[in-house]
Chains A and B, each alone.
Chain A
Amino acid sequence: MIDEPGPWGTGPFTLVQGASSITTRPAIMNAEPFRASSIIESEQRDPQVVLEANLDHWNRAARGPRIERAVFRNDLTPDEALRLVCDTEGEVDIVTEVSPADAQRVLDSAHARLVVSDANRVLVGILNRGSDAPLHDVEVRRALNAAIDRTAVVDQGLNGYASVIPAMTPPWCSGFPAGVQPYELDAAKAREAFAKADWPARRPLRIATPESFAAIAHMLAASIRSTLDLMVEVVVVPPDQLPAGSRALIEKKLDLPWDVLLHPWFDLSSEAPPAAVHREFFGLDGAFRAGPPDEGFDALFDEMKVQLDGEALVEVAERIDAYVHDRALALFICAPQALYAVNEHVTFSPYRTTFELAEVTVDEQHWSVGGGRSGTSRTDLGDRAAVRPTSGKPTFAQASGNAC
């Protein structure tokens, strides 16, 4: 966003070196009224982005900053960063977006500890209600939801670092509907519901996924295959095809080549999840809505968005989550946790929705205080760096497509 350093803000840190910005392309859903979202086409990150403490910050006593300087290193891959935070001192202090597949490595480290946060994130399967398969049929959608084993996905696919939730709102957020329970694996119920549907013979269910969630897609496919006796295909979308696929999903002109798309997403607050989450998947201006608008959802959202009283707004938000659950508008999977690897001499308390450094502290044994070395003083790091991974591990580091 800020594409060159300078004293532009009032925040707890000043950007003094480098920048991290994105270039986006608009994806237009409707001309009048104008509705659009954005796709990140490229990231521009300098090898080092340096923040220095703003000693004049108005809230310094309550929040901080407590450290003099934060250096974002963009010259390392996540794997390199994980090795450095686990095995060395003075190179890397905090690594975000640690994959559950790497959690044990951090737990075993002598230098780092694993910090786990119930972040405001969901992993869902978008159901293409405009498909030539009968996903417009609520009984089919309910059958699919009753045909998957969420506990197995959490335990085996994410090593336990996730929560099963009923729909899109985690229980720690406002708008969580009391009494609504997650769909459970129920083979008899799933088969009974599915048998009523007019699913075409020899028509497979097509599940698409980014590489990072391929293993989970295969787990879901196996569960649906065995429960419903239905052919299921898994299509892993190569990274170079994700932008076009995202744009097709947002613009909603082309027929989509999948029935289910595994899609991670995150919220910007804990206050009203339907604004940034449910609306995006099911709303009239939802970037990830696949299929026709849902009048019931839009009526509820229209009711919610004009509520100026917080309690009244939350009451509608609860009804929205209960509605999308009842209508099985998505394949609800889980709420993944956010994992961080943190140097043992650094205190870091994660935020549910963002990454904040104001409250971070270091102790007297930290390399930057005790006279240890820093490995990042070199300046020959190249012009630009590619931090984002391309591994097949489950991670939100590849959660993009649309910016946030």
Chain B
Amino acid sequence: MTAPPEPVGTVHVVDPSPLNWLFITWNTMEEPIRIDQDGRVVHSLAESSEWLDERTLELRLRRNVRFQDGEHFTAHNVKQNFDEMQRWAAPHPPGTWLNFPAPQSTAEVVDDHTLRFSFPGPDGLAIGKFRGFHVASSAFWNGKDAPGFGYKKFGSGEGHW
């Protein structure tokens, strides 16, 4: 296998978009799926997804992924981020339509690379909603210096994106 080319150079960007906060996030964090150049859903941190029944979605997660702080990425990270988001009434600025109904929606770790979501009913938009499910390392949520989407600065993560 050919080694990837070494990164070269610096670019300066001016981005007046009102979504700049989200673009910074999407260039630095990842989700179970991402959106490709043409706007199509492709797997990212998940390798595949499968509906086991109308209410149960199983994600098989990519192996050999590490957070930028060196932590190995596992299903436990996805569950932690899911559980943290489920604490909030409106975790996504676009609106509560992106919510997974709480408390009925749950995430269960099957093994280090398999996660099973249970929803109260069939949700054909669930996989697309994962685009807003940014997966941060444990250190982002735990410990005295964890920023946690605003906890450190504002006392709460909700409303600060």
Contacts and interface: CB of A to CB of B under 8 A. Distances in A.
B39 A271 contact: yes
Contacts of A64: 4, 7
Interface in B8-64: 8-30, 35-41, 45, 51, 54, 62, 64
B12 A96 contact: no
Contacts of B73: 10
A331 B66 CA distance: 48
Q: Determine the main DSSP class of B at the interface with A.
A: loop
A22 B37 contact: no
Q: Determine the main DSSP class of A at the interface with B.
A: loop
Most buried by A among B4, B51, B73, B95: B95
A270 B128 contact: no
A97 to B, nearest CB: 5
Interface string B128-146: 1001101111011000000
B110 interface: no
Most buried by B among A72, A266, A280, A306: A72
Contacts of B155: none
Interface residues of B, number: 78
Most buried by B among A21, A307, A362: A21
B149 interface: yes
A209 B87 CA distance: 37
Interface stretch (A48-56, A227-235, A292-300): A48-56
Given A3-B147, A21-B21, A267-B39, A71 B11 contact: yes
Given A1-B21, A60-B4, A34 B13 contact: no
Nearest to A270: B39
Contacts of B68: 7-11, 14, 54, 56
B14 A96 contact: yes
A36 B137 contact: no
B14 A76 contact: yes
A151 interface: no
A285 B14 contact: no
Given A70-B10, A355-B17, A2 B23 contact: no
Given A10-B66, A272-B128, A355 B23 contact: yes
A122 to B, nearest CB: 14
Given A21-B21, A36-B96, A78-B14, 12 more contacts: A1-B22, A1-B160, A7-B69, A8-B67, A10-B66, A38-B90, A43-B18, A49-B24, A91-B12, A285-B95, A351-B35, A397-B17
23 contacts: A1-B134, A9-B67, A11-B29, A34-B96, A35-B97, A38-B92, A38-B159, A40-B93, A68-B9, A85-B14, A94-B13, A269-B128, A270-B35, A270-B38, A275-B97, A283-B97, A308-B54, A351-B36, A351-B39, A353-B39, A366-B9, A397-B18, A403-B93
Instruction: Please name the 7 residue pairs, one residue from A and one from B, whose CB atoms are nearest each other, closest first.
Output: A270-B39, A7-B68, A9-B29, A403-B93, A81-B14, A362-B9, A400-B18
